[in-house]
Structure 1
Amino acid sequence: MAPSATVEPKSRPGPVRSALERLITSGEIEADPLQRRLADRLDALDRRLSAEIGASKKSALGWLFGQKREAERVKGLYVFGDVGRGKTMLMDMFFRQSSVAAKRRVHFHAFMGEVHERIGEHRRAHKKGEAKGDDPIPPVAEAIAAESRLLCFDEFTVTDIADAMILSRLFKALFARGLVLVATSNVAPDDLYPNGLNRPLFLPFVAVLKQHAEIFELAGEEDYRLAFLGEEDIYVETSDSGADGRIDAAWERLLDGARETTASLSVKGRTIPVPRAGNGAARFSFDDLMKRPLGAQDYLALARRFHTVVVEDVPVMAEAERNEAKRFITLVDALYDCGRRLVVSAEAPANEIYRARNGTEAFEFDRTVSRLFEMRSKDYLEKAASAEARDD
């Protein structure tokens, strides 16, 4: 799918394009014509948002901001392409410089977790007679739209039937209230939720998405994240006779003289034990984290609590271990999105851990492999260390 042609008036480069050009000039990335086009598209979107917000403030009827006719509403942007093409980098540049005050960048899994919590809260309040209306979607959409004018999602993907069934109604209501969505994904809108249960009920969301967001394919040949070479040995293959010693040595450096102890996390009333912890780091076996019924909210809680997570003895997985593979994918996503460090000992190289060729997990694991490579790069580790220092 080729990027849709939207003609913008020529002007000096906007903030996203300027930031991209600085990276090119410094030699940090190679020049990519499609990345430049996407940067210009993001700058154009921010100009439209800024102009609309400015006009609404000047107008005596500014409160009608969310009631514009369909043709007058600002459309968002849905960017898709293979892993490592620079989608997240450009969206983050856009988010940082956007003139919109009420904006939010959030992991899709975390956002949907919050949505389900809000729906549950409304239903409980309605049951007690404390809320009007038995349909929770309108008030939930109203609350979200009141908090954010611009919503940015990284790695938009739909695998959960509970999410799939509410997305169409939720986002139709959000868009009607003026929310603008910018999202990145590995797949085109028509390929979301492939082979999902009751997929025909999900398809109206695709139509709503296309109506309210322009679609841009960021194609290319090079995975920019895989171009980084890790400078620290934080991915250890267990075939190495010294693997255990190297993981232990890494753990000792993480502890930095602190006492090792046990810990626990409380997530929605459930307790997740942390068998080994110290100095802001946590250490688990693969079975501790992947063979228990844990989900995105659990792994996000883990990422928020610990700056570094050690996972030992990751085995080679096949289709029979698709549940474990899905949890591993979700763990890596959570740690990556929070900028945390991951130390791994595994039975095989990252690109050989999951060997199934069918199913959603096989497709999503390509992203996991790319992220595992980036998470051992010097640049990523330095950013993680800086974030850790700010947390302290």
Structure 2
Amino acid sequence: MHGSSDVGRLVDRRPSVTPERLIDQLIPPPTFAEVSFATYKPDPAEPSQAAAVQACQRFCEQAVQRRAGKKKLFGKREVLPGVGVYLDGGFGVGKTHLLASSYYAMSGPREFKRAFATFGELTQLAGVFGFVECIDLLSDYVLVCIDEFELDDPGNTTLISRLLSALVERGVSVAATSNTLPEQLGEGRFAAQDFLREINTLAAMFTTVRIEGPDYRHRDLPPAPEPPSDAEVAERAAAVPGATLDDFDALCAHLATMHPSRYLSLIEGVSGVFITGVRPIDDQSVALRLVSLTDRLYDAGIPVVASGAKLDTVFSAEMLAGGFRKKYLRATSRLLALTAAGQAGRTIT
């Protein structure tokens, strides 16, 4: 390929997502396709990490026992409520690794039904199938894993609280990760006190496991590199088969035309994402869509090369001081890892 005109653009893609596709997507992302409890390497200086592995293994054993139920007279079984584990910690301490390991621990001689979804994917699933149908769909699962548990608005708070309560009653166990303790979910984002009942219902389902440690993504990760020029980005994109090249503002506008559940399909088959004209964002909804895209890119291990503002300045200081602070910091951490890979011309591992 010899010219930027040959390079595809994300803004030209209009993906659609069928309900079947949504179900098929309920698996750990490619980055975590090979993980297990054995491949998690606890930091000897952080005893909470080794303790978290043991807590997750115990949780998996309990989840299987709960699903099997209790024997009653005449060989019948009584369904026992599911259990919950909540992995709380900062960025890059291995929460998603342990969550995916819990998912994979459910395979064996008996293949148990289990699902792995981001919080956004779970709310989307309920939106597509309907609340009651979503409960029916998941009620015979052993385990539902929810990555990056977020409560961004009152509707989602109520929806997920009731959905998980119904599933747990039916013997489904729930594992979740977040940067926020259950009783603090929703703080600073909406009138949390109005929804304390739902939030407390959620908190009561989980045993909280705290994981301490530095962000492994920033171990040996240099600060944000000096961005290349627009011309360099276009030239590099043209040299990478399967890459896309987009203007930052145009891409942000395109993301607004579709639900974030389609972002995974949007980047399907893309080998690298090249963006020109990055600038700081001061619109919350634009920023949150960029966070969702960043998560999908990170999950898929797709490197990023961008010109314009440094990627650690995309979210303004004002935004980092608000209710979505943790979300933006996580996205910045992931963008730095993606651009480090882009600089080196490799995928994320």
TM over 0.5: yes
Match of 1:223 among 198, 215, 232: 215
**Equivalent AA in structure 2 for residue 188 of structure 1:** L
**Separation of aligned partners in 1, 2:54 and 2:98:** 10
User: What residue number does 1:112 align with?
Assistant: 123
User: What residue number does 2:76 align with?
Assistant: 61
Deviations 1:126-164 (A, max 9, x none): xxxxxxxxxxx3343122223x32011111112144322
User: What residue number does 1:192 align with?
Assistant: 185
Gaps of 5+ in 2: 1-34
Indicate the SS of the match to 1:202: helix
**Equivalent AA in structure 2 for residue 372 of structure 1:** L
User: What residue number does 2:57 align with?
Assistant: 43
User: What residue number does 1:284 align with?
Assistant: 246
**Separation of aligned partners in 2, 1:383 and 1:61:** 51
User: What residue number does 1:297 align with?
Assistant: 261
User: What residue number does 1:265 align with?
Assistant: none
- The 5 Å alignment of 1:150-299 reads 150-220=143-213, 222-229=214-221, 237-238=226-227, 243-255=229-241, 279=242, 281-292=243-254, 293-294=256-257, 295-299=259-263
Match of 1:19 among 17, 21, 39: 39
After superposition, the Cα gap between the structure-2 partners of 1:53 and 1:358, relative to the gap in structure 1 and judged at 3 Å, is: closer
User: What residue number does 1:92 align with?
Assistant: 100
CA contact (8 A) 2:115 2:143 kept: yes
After superposition, the Cα gap between the structure-2 partners of 1:162 and 1:55, relative to the gap in structure 1 and judged at 3 Å, is: closer
Match of 2:292 among 319, 325, 330: 330
User: What residue number does 1:264 align with?
Assistant: none
Report the aligned-residue RMSD: 3.2
CA contact (8 A) 2:63 2:83 kept: no
After superposition, the Cα gap between the structure-2 partners of 1:344 and 1:383, relative to the gap in structure 1 and judged at 3 Å, is: closer
**Separation of aligned partners in 1, 2:253 and 2:225:** 21
**Separation of aligned partners in 2, 1:313 and 1:201:** 41
User: What residue number does 2:19 align with?
Assistant: none
**Equivalent AA in structure 2 for residue 343 of structure 1:** V
Percent identical residues: 22
Shift of 1:199: 3.1
- The 5 Å alignment of 1:120-159 reads 137-146=131-140, 148-159=141-152
CA contact (8 A) 1:325 1:354 kept: no
CA contact (8 A) 2:240 2:271 kept: no
**Separation of aligned partners in 1, 2:76 and 2:172:** 18
User: What residue number does 2:9 align with?
Assistant: none
Deviations 1:164-201 (A, max 9, x none): 23222222211111111111101111221223445345
Indicate the SS of the match to 2:268: helix
**Separation of aligned partners in 2, 1:353 and 1:169:** 33
CA contact (8 A) 1:16 1:43 kept: no
Shift of 1:324: 2.3
Indicate the SS of the match to 2:239: helix
After superposition, the Cα gap between the structure-2 partners of 1:55 and 1:75, relative to the gap in structure 1 and judged at 3 Å, is: closer
**Separation of aligned partners in 1, 2:290 and 2:44:** 31
After superposition, the Cα gap between the structure-2 partners of 1:159 and 1:52, relative to the gap in structure 1 and judged at 3 Å, is: closer
User: What residue number does 1:310 align with?
Assistant: 274
Q: Which entry has the higher C-alpha Rg, 1 or 2?
A: 1
**Separation of aligned partners in 2, 1:289 and 1:94:** 35
User: What residue number does 1:344 align with?
Assistant: 306
After superposition, the Cα gap between the structure-2 partners of 1:298 and 1:161, relative to the gap in structure 1 and judged at 3 Å, is: farther
**Separation of aligned partners in 2, 1:206 and 1:327:** 25
CA contact (8 A) 1:285 1:313 kept: yes
**Equivalent AA in structure 2 for residue 327 of structure 1:** R
Greater RCO, 1 or 2 (C-alpha within 8 Å, sep 6+) = 2
Indicate the SS of the match to 2:174: strand
Shift of 1:33: 1.1
After superposition, the Cα gap between the structure-2 partners of 1:51 and 1:187, relative to the gap in structure 1 and judged at 3 Å, is: same
TM-score normalised to the size of structure 2? 0.76
Gaps of 5+ in 1: 1-14, 120-136, 256-278, 386-392
